[in-house]
Structure 1
Amino acid sequence: MQLANYLFFTTTCEQALGFYERCGLGRTVEILRHGENGMPVHNEAMRGRIMHARFEGPGVLFFASDNHDAEPMRGSAHILMMDDHTQTDTLFGKLADGGRITTPLGMQPWGDYYGKLTDRFGVQWMLNCAIASRRDSTA
């Protein structure tokens, strides 16, 4: 069993996937489009838009599509568990471009370097870099 997120967009799935590729998260490895290669079209406005996509990178897997009835994303976020402070800064800056930072990157009470943002496509991201030694939770 593996848990993976599925992101729903109304018309910006392709742009979002390209953005995530440029950020260095991975690449789109599969795309099916509404109305192409036998795929159905339930709404003509969706013709040619992404019906299903698979996105993969090192430690990253999610799926995405455009849907005419997609609801704004809320109540869920991708969390990226990082192990390098500089990479965390770089990726956070790229994902935040055109978006909104809700928790600036910084040291947190639990001892990790953490920040949260909503990107330009409405997807929430949390980056957590465990750079401090772990405390014994049994103490």
Structure 2
Amino acid sequence: MTKLNTYLNFAGNTEEAFNFYKSVFGGEFSSVVRFKDMPMEGVNIPKEDENKILHISLPVGKDNVLMASDSLESLGQKLTQGNNVYISVHPESKEEADRIFNALSAGGTIEMPIADQPWGDYYGSFKDKFGVQWMVDYTYPKAK
């Protein structure tokens, strides 16, 4: 079954925000990745941004995950209220990821085409024709 989660963007204070959310909801972070931990070909992260959060996730309750990242002005990302929330869709297959991505992005603006990513997932993001921001993220099954 496809899952929907909330994905937030912050202007450099993701870690502070998520420590606060963790104090409210409890639990442990299931992922914390800093920009320095995930080098990307052709992308130079300034020293002052290396420890910023590329991705963090905090499970909340049984089936929900609150996720986020820092938006870096050094990468040309400009955070304004209204572009800091995404709906993150997690389909059960690559084919379903393609179907959802193509259907929801029709008439919208693609931010990142859906493709295999350096962190290992099949991922893309866009703003739909109604101005809603979406992420489609298929995680390949782990080899047994």
Length-normalised TM-score, structure 2: 0.45
Length-normalised TM-score, structure 1: 0.46
When Rg is computed on C-alpha atoms for both structures, the one with the higher figure is: 1
Structure number with higher relative contact order (C-alpha < 8 Å, ≥ 6 residues apart): 2
